[in-house]
Amino acid sequence: MIPASFEYRRADSVEQALGWLSEDPDSTKLLAGGHSLLPLMKLRLATPGVLVDIGRVPGLSYVRDAGDHVAVGALTRHRDVEISDVARAHVPLLAHVAGQVGDPQVRHRGTIGGSIAHGDPASDLPAAVLALDGVLVIDGPRGRREVGAGDFFRGFLETALAPDEVLTEIRVRKAPRGWAFQKFNRRAQDWAIVGVAAVVNGGARVALVNMGATTVRARGTEEALAAGAGIAEAAARAPEGLEPPSDLQGSAEYRRHLATVLVRRALEEATASGG
């Protein structure tokens, strides 16, 4: 499988990438690790005319302690998030989830920015960032803006990013304790059939993988916990208001059931880990 022809340009800076994007935003695509985009291009589900490779833009790969939050550069690879001392100390959920993405080869190429920008409901990192009350820092021709994760994920492969913008940083709230991630799949390396990222300190936030057109919060569970319900009761409300997909991996009904089980396990684990 070979992608359709395109013009390849390697950007040396965000400004250069923005300049190229602005020339023809609709047929230009950014390339980071390429582990979502290249498979789509090989299947010819994506046929950009110009590919702007930002993979080597310097200064966008870091995990930094920024006081009340942790800042992660958009080009930080999953592997580098996974082994980051800062991430492990202050947002172990993020480090753990990065280590659950695909397989080692995927983690050596894929970036956190690519995963967030792609907005796939089956992806793990968007759920972690949503549970960690994340903020996405976006640079564009109209300057810089910050969008909360709750407003960022809009629909299937659809985010708040405009075609002429670049995601540059991901900020997440520190949560050294009281977290859990549950990923249910049938084979090693697979995507989650359903996944749960939970943070229980300072008001529980529970985000779900593959339970809708995009990454979603388990509002029913969060409301129940806020009202003082126990874990089992709160977990039973996990699928409330959600419309999970039906596919070869499982029916919508199966996913609803799975969500209640996995949310219960996640809340038990998060609470046990110091929530």
Ligand X SMILES: Cc1cc2nc3c(=O)[nH]c(=O)nc-3n(C[C@H](O)[C@H](O)[C@H](O)COP(=O)(O)OP(=O)(O)OC[C@H]3O[C@@H](n4cnc5c(N)ncnc54)[C@H](O)[C@@H]3O)c2cc1C
Which positions touch ligand X (CB under 6 A)?
29-37, 39, 74, 101-102, 106, 109-111, 113-115, 117-118, 123-125, 161, 166-167, 191
Cβ neighbours around 202 below 10 Å, total: 11
Among 66, 71, 106, 261, binds other proteins (CB under 8 A): 106
Residue 254 backbone phi and psi in degrees, to 5:
-60, -45
Binding of residue 102 to other proteins (CB under 8 A): yes
Helix locations, 83-178, DSSP H: 85-90, 92-98, 104-109, 112-118, 125-131, 149-152
CB of 18: closest distance to other proteins in angstroms? Answer: 21
Rounded to whole angstroms, the Cα distance separating 189 from 171 reads: 27
Which does residue 21 bind out of ligand X, other proteins, none, counting CB within 5 to 8 angstroms by kind? none
Among 108, 174, 257, 265, binds other proteins (CB under 8 A): 108
Residue 93 backbone phi and psi in degrees, to 5:
-60, -45
Q: Which stretch binds other proteins (CB under 8 A): 101-109, 127-135, 167-175, 252-260?
A: 101-109
Rounded to whole angstroms, the Cα distance separating 166 from 261 reads: 37
Strands 50-53 and 28-31: parallel
Site for other proteins in 133-152 (CB under 8 A): none
SS3 of the chain: helix, strand, coil, percent, to 5: 35, 25, 40
Binding of residue 51 to other proteins (CB under 8 A): yes
Question: Six-digit token pair at 242?
Answer: 């959600």
Say which residue the tokens 């405009």 belong to. Answer: 162
Which does residue 3 bind out of other proteins, ligand X, none, counting CB within 5 to 8 angstroms by kind? other proteins
Site for other proteins in 12-41 (CB under 8 A): 31, 34-35, 38-39
Which does residue 108 bind out of other proteins, ligand X, none, counting CB within 5 to 8 angstroms by kind? other proteins
CB closer to ligand X out of 120 and 133 = 120
Residue burial 44-59, b: 16+ Cβ < 10 Å; e: rest:
eebebeebbbbbebee
Strands 179-184 and 194-199: antiparallel
Among 58, 67, 143, 188, binds other proteins (CB under 8 A): 188
CB closer to ligand X out of 37 and 204 = 37
CA nearest neighbour of 215 among 268, 153, 148? 153
Which does residue 6 bind out of other proteins, ligand X, none, counting CB within 5 to 8 angstroms by kind? other proteins
Binding of residue 47 to other proteins (CB under 8 A): no
Question: Six-digit token pair at 3?
Answer: 């992608």
Q: Which stretch binds other proteins (CB under 8 A): 4-12, 63-71, 126-134, 162-170?
A: 4-12
Binding of residue 88 to other proteins (CB under 8 A): no
Give residues in contact with other proteins (CB under 8 A). 1-8, 10, 31, 34-35, 38-39, 42, 51, 53, 55, 79, 102-106, 108-109, 188-189
